[in-house]
Structure 1
Amino acid sequence: MTILDVKDLSVSFIQYAAGLRQQEVKVITSLNVAISPGEVLAVVGSSGSGKSLLAHAILGILPVNARVTGSMRFDGKELTPARQAKLRGRDIALVPQSVNFLDPLMRVGKQVRTGVRGGDPGLVQREVFSRYHLSEHVDRLFPFQLSGGMARRVLVSTAIVSGARLVIADEPTPGLDEAAVKETLGFFRQMADEGCAVMLITHDIATAVKIADNIAVFYAGTTVEAAPAKDFAGDGAGLRHPYSKALWLALPQNGFISIPGFQPSPAALPPGCLFQPRCSLATASCAAVQPEAREVRHGMVRCIYAS
């Protein structure tokens, strides 16, 4: 049973151009993603592909000039703005990209205690700090006194004590050394193993493969493929979409193979398949209409030639 089901999500922003003329810029188009309890779903793609915007749309924290269409359902019920406000920080928790989300004027122990939903806040906070190897004195420190790894563990602790059923971790490992990255990702794998659903947003596909059950690949604001993590292996023959294969083969350990072109900006999206201007397999049919999402070999793909 899925706990979060996003279908045909589109997000656009109303902006002002020259002469106070309004224009609508669509940054997410027909995006699909689903996640179940006990699963780590890695959302991967280059910068600007819509990964963080998806998180903000789920949480209901987009700016006021955003327009959202499509369906987002949590635990089988539509995520209305009122329901998002009720679930945010409780059943749905965010581990943000930046440690700057910690209040710089509040000791970190107190920050974690404010998120405790049941039991004695002090006891719960001490237990979770012990679990993540944070010494007792850490609860009296301010954020600026923490190392990068300690700050990440505090952010994970805030999600743990909330009792959230869905945790969205937005780029939780930038700037960390290899040992700290392994430790941080291990926390999320442990949360999933205990029944939580974890959405890991990252650009590091090689790291995501190590802990994820499934991987969703984003390109120019849409999902081009969703596949089991085990399919990201070898020469990428198990993958379904040309972009997923290109992304995999661009890794240094997989040949460091680049492709021409670049991801289009939201204001200049090509017709049809968004990847077709860069795809070596593209034909005239690819430019006619954006492919529908369909199931191929136990995964989802948007490509008319995938088999």
Structure 2
Amino acid sequence: MKDKDKPVLAVKDLSVSFTMYDGGMRRREREMVHQLSLTVNAGEIVAVAGSSGSGKSLLAHAILGILPKNANMTGTLEFCGRRLDEKALKQLRGKEISFIPQSVKYLDPLMKVGRQVMGPCRRRERRSRQAKMKQAFARYQLEESVAKLYPYQLSGGMARRVLISGAVMNQAKLIVADEPTPGLQETLARETMKNFRELAEEGCGVLLITHDIDLALKMADRIAVFYEGDILETVPAEAFAGDGEALGHPYSRAFVKALPQNEFCAPESFGSRV
């Protein structure tokens, strides 16, 4: 099997529920992700596309091991064939696995941007890390002076580009990008997707979580259609061509009709899998 055909990430039967209390202080479990399975191979972009609020970010947080304390997770996660448990995640997160979060609140408000993008490094590594940061800033149209700013001094678009810059600093084997393009100008959003494509061509696996399926279709290899905590189907991006007749689920076909260049029809409620 060639490297580009090997799963960098394998998600098997993942379920995520939350321990909650109702008005009578009765404890109950609410499941938000339902036995979800997904793979991302080296050298490909897999887009998880679905409407806002459907639970897509929970998938990213489960992979990174950053679910809240009241979350309960079952199923297995593997990275390059290695079980992704808490110990492994501590070793891999921020190094071989990079995360681009949806919220710019992930930036430390008390630390200058440059230190956050560079990450912890030894003194002898500082010069090379600064050079990498300079390249990342140039790629995402950020002035070098941005490194000396605090997050509150950044615009929303600048903060998002800073988050992306931090994620591409290391030679990660997997990038999990949770809605990386909102707030970016269209040209920069497309350039960001192009950069993801370049990273994939270098052998990185990219899991792109987005509701912008039109943008994802231009760069993704496969599309996983997400609906109410479940993946309805995973298909090659070409399956969305035309009227979506190659798609197996009515919700997926409704997504095609909802594209700006088509009928702009909002997907209806389809319940669970057909």
The normalised TM-score by structure 1 is 0.80
Partner of 2:187: 179
Aligned-partner residue type, residue 17 of structure 1: D
Partner of 2:236: 228
- Which 10-residue stretch deviates more, 48-57 or 153-162? 153-162
Partner of 1:192: 200
Distance 2:267 2:40 in 1: 31
Change (3 A) 1:123 1:33: same
Distance 2:256 2:152 in 1: 37
Aligned-partner residue type, residue 74 of structure 1: F
Corresponding position: 1:40 with 2:48: no
Corresponding position: 1:96 with 2:101: yes
Distance 1:148 1:194 in 2: 29
Aligned-partner residue type, residue 51 of structure 1: K
Any residues of structure 2 matched to 1:129-144 within 5 Å, and which?
A: 129-144=137-152
Corresponding position: 1:11 with 2:19: no
Any residues of structure 2 matched to 1:234-273 within 5 Å, and which?
A: 234-258=242-266, 260=268, 262=269
Change (3 A) 1:137 1:76: same
Contact 1:134 1:150 in 2 (8 A): yes
Distance 2:157 2:192 in 1: 8
Name the SS of the counterpart of 2:110 in structure 1.
coil
Deviations 1:243-267 (A, max 9, x none): 111121122322123454x47xxxx
Contact 1:13 1:66 in 2 (8 A): yes
Unmatched segments (≥5 aa) in structure 1: 264-273, 276-301
Contact 2:77 2:83 in 1 (8 A): yes
Deviations 1:176-201 (A, max 9, x none): 22122212222222221222111111
Name the SS of the counterpart of 1:18 in structure 2.
coil
Corresponding position: 1:156 with 2:164: yes
Contact 1:9 1:68 in 2 (8 A): yes
Change (3 A) 1:65 1:100: closer
Name the SS of the counterpart of 1:252 in structure 2.
coil
- Once the 2 structures are TM-superposed, how far is the Cα of residue 210 of structure 1 from its aligned partner? 0.7
Unmatched segments (≥5 aa) in structure 2: 1-5
Name the SS of the counterpart of 1:3 in structure 2.
strand
Task: Count how many residue pairs are aligned between Structure 1 and Structure 2.
Answer: 266
Distance 1:259 1:192 in 2: 31
Contact 1:116 1:161 in 2 (8 A): no
Name the SS of the counterpart of 1:19 in structure 2.
coil
Deviations 1:47-66 (A, max 9, x none): 23221000000011111111
- Which 10-residue stretch deviates more, 11-20 or 106-115? 106-115
Contact 1:3 1:36 in 2 (8 A): yes
Contact 1:48 1:221 in 2 (8 A): no
Distance 2:150 2:43 in 1: 33
Aligned-partner residue type, residue 216 of structure 2: A
Contact 2:255 2:267 in 1 (8 A): no
Contact 2:251 2:267 in 1 (8 A): no
RMSD: 2.0
Contact 1:115 1:162 in 2 (8 A): no
The structure 2 residue matched to 1:210, chosen from 196, 218, 221, is 218
Name the SS of the counterpart of 2:7 in structure 1.
coil
Distance 1:64 1:70 in 2: 17
- Which 10-residue stretch deviates more, 137-146 or 3-12? 137-146
Distance 1:40 1:72 in 2: 18
Max Rg structure: 1
The normalised TM-score by structure 2 is 0.90
Which protein, 1 or 2, shows the higher relative CO under an 8 Å CA cutoff with sep ≥ 6?
A: 2
